[in-house]
Structure 1
Amino acid sequence: MFKRVLLKLSGEFLADENGFGISPNTTARLARLLTAAIAGKEIELAIVIGGGNFWRGARNGAGMDAATADYIGMLGTVMNAMALQDAMETAGQPTRVMSAIHMAAVAEPYIRRRAMRHLEKGRVVIFGGGNGAPFFTTDTTSTLRALEIGAEVVLMAKNKVDGVYDSDPRKNPDAKRYDTLTHLDVVEQRLEVMDATAITLCMDKGLPIVVFDLFETGNLERLFAGERVGTLIQTS
């Protein structure tokens, strides 16, 4: 059974049906799902959320200074973190937003020991602002934060994709799903699990990853109970 986990969410989990912006109804549904999954359990949940529902540096920032484009994306992740915090607290779950970019009026600064203390007190911690530096994705931030806070696993949430496949299952009906993989398998086969920096760091530190369908009924509860869900990626 897991005790402390880091959940990686894309910004699109908060978006409307077009994948843009923040939908209050969609965000509330997500918050209720997460709150119910940890209710009554000794699970310490940290979250890293992307900002792709607002901005993707490589796509939206064409022609712009690359660092500036990435900083804009980081600000989008803080917006998402604040929206999810509000929805989770409405659902009854104490939550804190911590930002790697200093903005004290809306979020606590990221301080590792303070984040761990929040988790020990039963608060969900949402990390916004990426890792505070450009040229790194929120995949890498997820890995860094998981290692810093001593998380036992990174949970890579997907929507309607129940694991890692050898090709895109939405385009290839014959795609094969993997139950288990090693980090090295992911690198050598160029499987699109997370970016190369993130997967290499997980491999170096022996940090397992689970790729799963967040909205499949009961998946989170089964994961927290130690059951096999989705695709497990580990050292061996």
Structure 2
Amino acid sequence: MVTPKFRRVILKLSGEALAGQKGYGIDPDVVNSIARQIKDIIELRVQLAIVVGGGNIWRGISGSTKGMDRATADYMGMLATVINSLALQDALEKHDVDTRVQTAIEMRAVAESYIRRRAIRHMEKGRVVIFAAGTGNPYFSTDTTAALRAAEIEAEIILMAKQVDGVYEADPLKNRNARKFDELSYIEVLNRGLQVMDSTAVSLCMDNQIPLLVFNLNEEGNIKRAILGERIGTFVGGELND
């Protein structure tokens, strides 16, 4: 059996990633592809937690720019992440991956409340834990949730699954000549204003020395490659250990 480079990991999935080519809602084929990849890494005895965004259903910041109360819009976004988390849980369990959803907002009828020690215990038993409803507070993104939960559970790395194959100096979909970075420091990300995570999340990762790996989710098998330490995407936080 191959040996994974990382043993405890946070996987950050955007809500848009679950929509696939549809751009809105949940694409079952995409969710099943993600579930298959996660099953592969669980078989390597990697302890995995997932943070899912909700942008395929609702983005709080978009609602607030159109006159909605920002806190209300953000709470709606948190509920969207719960919908995505339940869809991902269903797909994982159809692939025989034992999964628990923990929410930052109490809703006992559909998920457990977030308890740090319980989440770690689930992971130690080989269960995937999906953290839903963000931090439970408005004005904080799911990127910040990923950074916060990674610090709390002592994850070794955050895997940022994107629709592009790394971090570029400009949008590669608009500028074909945009340069891709293989490695970046936290400070470079902040100073350049690169869209890896929001600044709060990057600062939290920097303060707690939690590295990030930004990679393309659309290429099946990339989650496993990232876990094995292959040089894919863009590494943020320092040099990769050989």
Q: TM-score range by the shorter chain?
A: over 0.9
2:97 to 90, 93, 97: 93
State how 1:96-111 maps to structure 2 within 5 Å.
96-111=100-115
Give the root-mean-square deviation of aligned CA atoms. 1.3
2:193 to 190, 193, 196: 190
1:211 to 188, 200, 214: 214
The separation in 1 between residues aligned to 2:167 and 2:154, in whole angstroms, is 25
Q: Percent identity?
A: 56
Deviation at 1:224, TM superposition (A): 1.4
Kindly provide the amino acid, as one letter, of the partner of residue 181 in structure 1: L
Q: TM-score, normalised by structure 1?
A: 0.95
State how 1:20-35 maps to structure 2 within 5 Å.
20-35=24-39
In structure 1, list runs of 5 or more residues that go unmatched: none
The separation in 1 between residues aligned to 2:224 and 2:184, in whole angstroms, is 22
The separation in 2 between residues aligned to 1:221 and 1:27, in whole angstroms, is 16
Structure 2 residue 113 is the aligned partner of structure 1 residue 113: no
Match for residue 226 of structure 2? 223
The separation in 1 between residues aligned to 2:214 and 2:21, in whole angstroms, is 23
The alpha-carbon distance between structure 1 residues 40 and 16, as it changes in their structure 2 partners (threshold 3 A), is closer
State how 1:1-236 maps to structure 2 within 5 Å.
1-15=5-19, 17-36=21-40, 38-61=41-64, 62-159=66-163, 161-235=164-238
Kindly provide the amino acid, as one letter, of the partner of residue 28 in structure 2: P
Kindly provide the amino acid, as one letter, of the partner of residue 175 in structure 1: A
The alpha-carbon distance between structure 1 residues 33 and 40, as it changes in their structure 2 partners (threshold 3 A), is closer
The separation in 1 between residues aligned to 2:113 and 2:55, in whole angstroms, is 22
Kindly provide the amino acid, as one letter, of the partner of residue 233 in structure 2: G
The alpha-carbon distance between structure 1 residues 16 and 167, as it changes in their structure 2 partners (threshold 3 A), is closer
The separation in 1 between residues aligned to 2:20 and 2:166, in whole angstroms, is 23
**Deviation >6 Å, runs of 4+:** none
8 A Cα contact 2:33 2:220, kept in partner: no
The alpha-carbon distance between structure 1 residues 212 and 141, as it changes in their structure 2 partners (threshold 3 A), is same
Q: TM-score, normalised by structure 2?
A: 0.93
Deviations 1:193-222 (A, max 9, x none): 000100011111111000001232432222
8 A Cα contact 2:35 2:95, kept in partner: yes
Kindly provide the amino acid, as one letter, of the partner of residue 104 in structure 2: A
Deviation at 1:25, TM superposition (A): 2.8
**Equivalent residue pairs, number:** 234
Deviations 1:132-156 (A, max 9, x none): 0000000000000000001000111
Deviation at 1:157, TM superposition (A): 0.3
The alpha-carbon distance between structure 1 residues 30 and 63, as it changes in their structure 2 partners (threshold 3 A), is same
The separation in 1 between residues aligned to 2:33 and 2:183, in whole angstroms, is 30
Kindly provide the amino acid, as one letter, of the partner of residue 191 in structure 2: E
8 A Cα contact 2:185 2:236, kept in partner: yes
Kindly provide the amino acid, as one letter, of the partner of residue 231 in structure 2: R
- Which SS does the other structure have where 1:226 is aligned? coil
Deviation at 1:19, TM superposition (A): 1.4
The separation in 2 between residues aligned to 1:162 and 1:57, in whole angstroms, is 26
